[in-house]
Amino acid sequence: MLLRISLFLTVLATVSAASKHPKTRAIAPRDDSPIDDGLLELVRQRARDTSLRSWELGTLAEAFLELDWPHLSVFGENGVPPPRDGTGPNNLTTVLQLANYALAIRPEGIVTLFADGAVGDPPSLGVAVLLANWTKASHPGMARNNYDTPLRQQMDYVINEAPRTDDGAISHRSERVQLWSDFIYMAPPFMAYYAALHQPTVDRDLLYESYNQIKLYRNYMFDEDPGLWKHILMGNFQDEGHWGTGNGWAAAGIMRVLCTINQTTLGYDPDFVAAQRDLQNWATEIVNNAWKFQQSSIDAAVRARDLIRSRINPNDGWVDQVVDPYAWGSEGKESPEGQSFVLLMEAAWRGWRSYLDSVDSPSSSSESAKPTATRTTSTVTEEVTVTLTSEEVDGETQGIQQATITGKTSTAAGSTATATRGSSNRGSKVCRRKLKNKHLDL
């Protein structure tokens, strides 16, 4: 079941251990402490230096949003909509820089946010560009920038022009109908956020379509045995393997849409209550079924995080032994998305630790200190952390692709690195609304 106190699933898919590294590699005792700020800054720099493709920039923008400005993400207490005043603790500098960069290199005459052969990947930048448009009046250097036209063009292309299956699933590719699990992280969150941003006015049809696309994709991609998503279907090639990263893309994308819907004025509408129930069930089934493939040497989120931390080069911040992001059946040398996954992992860890601290604190509210919340916390470490290997899931022998889906609850802490970027150390409260009806309890 999804945690009562609201569970945030985030993804890191960073490490591909070559076969020369045994699966039983010893793990050091748990280190439940923040990744060193200096090391994390190196990880950030490598991600920024090498993220050149649309989905790499979009994933990095979301990582910066959740790590630096957690209270302004859809998992945050001020996330939907965020304040119009993008100054002080709400200035979103790291996110806006990426949005402005992407539009600065955008060729004239295209209808997507980024020149790309994919339908699904350019919308991954959509939330960052929407935030730039939303706060531009408070940034003198951005006030005259035209964000609205590219955003409208991108949405029109996805909804009205992109290829679809006969039953309406939007193709991830532009040149042919082809479905990728990656799509769920890239496009539906943009659709949902676009629909919800101007509350109390919400584009009901578009918001529902963000849910409907996940539903349609799941109908095609979900494999009853072993209960995980396939990677690629249709088109000129297919990958029916249960790729760890692909399942992570799906789970995290589902959660972003769920938490966006949950914070809208339509959150109590019967149609959207049912949609939220579906979304929480679909995210949970990925976690529960992936759990079966957990490596025995990693028995909790902290140990999984320790493993990733141990693979970060302390001299330059590169995560080593990564999956090649452009040939995912092979080991790569560097992975821009892998760098971003480390940042997403750390954002999730901060939220989890902050929640534990709030429960243990004598000043905690009576509600947060209830025994039910404490019991749920134990579920985060015992049930939600997942490490997938392509070797174990699909019988592959070329190496281990590891992905961790980890739980993040309630508020995200503002560490020194976060605070210096101006984010509120109250952080993010996942799926802010706590529904009081019998239909949904987030």
- For the stretch 352-364, pLDDT in tens is 888 777 777 655 4
Structure tokens at 134: 């939303």
Q: Which residue has the tokens 């916390």?
A: 377
Which tens digit of pLDDT belongs to each residue from 288-327? 888 777 654 345 567 778 888 999 999 999 999 888 888 8
Do 279 and 214 meet the contact criterion of CB atoms below 8 Å apart? Answer: yes
The answer for residues whose C-beta is within 8 angstroms of residue 439's C-beta and 6 or more apart is: 270, 273, 274, 277
Q: How confident is the model at residue 263 (pLDDT cuts 50, 70, 90)?
A: very high
Least confident of 98-107, 236-245, 320-329: 320-329
The confidence band for 188, taking pLDDT boundaries of 50, 70 and 90, is very high
pLDDT tens digit sequence for 27-82: 445 667 889 999 999 999 999 999 999 999 999 999 999 999 999 999 988 899 99
Predicted local distance difference test score (pLDDT) of residue 297: 39
Read off the pLDDT of residues 128-155 as tens digits, 9 standing for 90 and up.
Answer: 999 999 999 999 889 889 999 999 999 9
What is the C-alpha to C-alpha distance for residues 28 and 50, in angstroms, rounded to an integer? 30
Strand partners, 239: 232
* Residue 350 CB contacts under 8 Å (≥ 6 apart), including other chains: 34, 67, 70, 412, 413, 415, 418, 427
73 Cβ contact partners less than 8 Å away, ≥ 6 residues apart: 62, 65, 66, 79, 428
**Taking a C-beta distance cutoff of 8 angstroms, is the pair 96, 104 a contact?**
no
